[in-house]
Amino acid sequence: MRDTLSLANFNIKNPKLGLIAFPLGKAGSKPLLNLVKLLSEFSNEIYVISGGEALKSLELLKSVYVINITHRVGLNIFTRIINYVRTEFLFLRRLIAIFKGIDVFVFSIGGESLLLPMIFLKLLRKKVIVMPGGVATKVYARRKDPLVKLLSLMITFNLNIADKLVIYSPHLLTESGWRRYLNKVNFSHEHSVDFRAFKIMKKIYERGNIIGYIGRLSAEKGILNLIKAYPLVLEKSKTILMVCGEGNLTSQIKKLVKTDGISEYVKIMGWISHQDLPKYLNEMKILVLPSFTEGLPNIMLEAMACGTPVLATPVGAIPDVIKDGETGFLLKSNDPKHIAERIVELLNKPELLEKVSINAYNYVRENFSFEKTLDAWRKILSEL
């Protein structure tokens, strides 16, 4: 990178940044938009190479040039491999066309598994930051992806040759087994909360007994365990479970709800637009995130900003934010019986819920402002 970066006086003249993310669905819209907005504070020109529905969130941003990649999902292991190799070459082709004027490339949101683009850029001595959104290999394993071992090797190779590794938190660094990269690790994220939109509109005691889940309906999120827990919850407390999101488990969830005879109490809401999320969060008494693996869930921070207590598994960066009984609640496991017991227990402790609601709001306001995130990224870029 040009010698115009300094930690004391961060100033770049017309820099160019490249962002490489694997083609993303709707669930990737918010993290992608957050990261691009963040990088825009340091760059007058950003090239985003990605694909999928998430790119729609970038349409109105100035000085952001989107290069669209179409990824085909194969129906079997053979077509999966063929299509993945095809996608790697599509990324490589786009990089060859634009790489010369770009100072730093950031691989994030699935981009950490792209081998050919990484090798190409490092052979040309380009500066590369890898920012995993979580432990991708755990996601692939939970989905029973037949390519999990191959993808794991590719990610490990990329982490080894990257110049910088940006990790959400110390807990995630330990959980992922990436401590061997400590000499090039910085702790930061792309998250910031719009506190004008995400705020407390209803106090906890003003809300009904509504338990919420907001997120992708896929295996690694533990949503099936929450659905299986709900008949046990209903034995002790007649509450409503509001499930917001979409994914490949949607039909299975609907079938399970019908089979268990709990359709009256479980509302499958489908995809909720980001602008409507504050309204839904302010109706929930508890938001449950029973994930098997996570990075740093944006919905957790937005719930906290709305004063909605979060009950989550201690995975990824979650334990660095959620302190049990203080800023939220932690599950010992996502076993359905345990989930049910914790939900019932917390519903019977309204004073504790009220205390945690206020603590969570104060914590996220203090620690997840846009300015704090900018300061962390100034340091990362200056060290390059």
pLDDT of residue 109: 92
| Exposure of 231 in the CB half-sphere (CA atoms within 13 A) | 10
Q: Are 46 and 16 in contact (CB under 8 A)?
A: yes
pLDDT of residue 52: 93
* Residue the block writes with tokens 């995400």: 198
Q: Are 284 and 305 in contact (CB under 8 A)?
A: no
Written as tens digits, the pLDDT of the chain (384 aa) is 333 333 333 344 557 899 999 999 888 898 999 999 999 988 889 999 999 999 999 988 888 999 999 999 888 888 989 999 999 999 999 999 999 989 999 999 999 999 999 999 999 999 999 999 888 888 888 888 888 899 999 999 999 999 999 999 999 988 888 999 999 999 998 888 899 999 999 999 999 999 999 999 999 999 999 999 999 999 999 999 999 999 999 999 999 999 999 999 999 999 999 999 999 999 999 999 999 999 999 999 999 999 999 999 999 999 999 999 999 999 999 999 999 999 999 999 999 999 999 999 999 999 988 888 888 888 888 887
* Residue the block writes with tokens 């729609």: 56
Burial of 73 (0-12, 13-18, 19+ CB in 10 A): exposed
Q: How far is CA 135 from CA 147, 156, 206, 381, in A?
A: 15, 11, 38, 23
Q: Are 141 and 148 in contact (CB under 8 A)?
A: yes
pLDDT of residue 5: 36
* Residue the block writes with tokens 């309906």: 217
What are the residues facing 259 on neighbouring strands? none
Other C-beta atoms closer than 10 Å to the C-beta of 235 total 10
Q: Return the SS3 of 306.
A: coil
Q: What torsion do the CA atoms of 338, 342, 348, 350 make, to the nearest 10 degrees?
A: -170
Tell me, what DSSP letter sits at residue 200? -
**CA separation for the pair 168, 191 (Å, rounded):** 10
Would you give the distance in Å from CA 181 to the centre of its chain?
A: 22
The residues of the chain that CATH labels 3.40.50.2000 are 16-192+369-382, 204-367
Q: Return the SS3 of 20.
A: strand
CA angle 197, 202, 205 (to 5 degrees): 155
What are the residues facing 20 on neighbouring strands? 49, 107
| Exposure of 104 in the CB half-sphere (CA atoms within 13 A) | 26
What are the residues facing 68 on neighbouring strands? 50
- pLDDT tens across 200-256, in order? 999 999 999 999 999 999 999 999 999 999 999 999 999 999 999 999 999 999 999
**What CATH homologous superfamily does 204-367 map to?**
Glycogen Phosphorylase B; (3.40.50.2000)
pLDDT of residue 14: 58
**CA separation for the pair 182, 72 (Å, rounded):** 35
Positive or negative, the CA dihedral 211, 318, 178, 164 is positive
The length of the chain in residues reads: 384
What is the fold, at CATH topology level, of the domain defined by 16-192+369-382? Answer: Rossmann fold (3.40.50)
**CA separation for the pair 29, 52 (Å, rounded):** 9
Other C-beta atoms closer than 10 Å to the C-beta of 11 total 9
**CA separation for the pair 85, 78 (Å, rounded):** 11
Tell me, what DSSP letter sits at residue 275? G
Q: Which residues, other chains included, contact 372 with Cβ-Cβ below 8 Å and sequence gap of 6+?
A: none
**CA separation for the pair 165, 373 (Å, rounded):** 16
Least Cα distance to 252 among 228, 283, 235, 271 occurs for 228
Q: Give residue 328's region: left, alpha or beta (phi > 0; psi -120 to 50).
A: left
- pLDDT tens across 79-97, in order? 989 999 999 999 999 999 9
**CA separation for the pair 65, 90 (Å, rounded):** 17
pLDDT of residue 27: 86
Q: Which residues, other chains included, contact 225 with Cβ-Cβ below 8 Å and sequence gap of 6+?
A: 290, 334, 335, 336, 339
**Amino acid at residue number 84:** Y
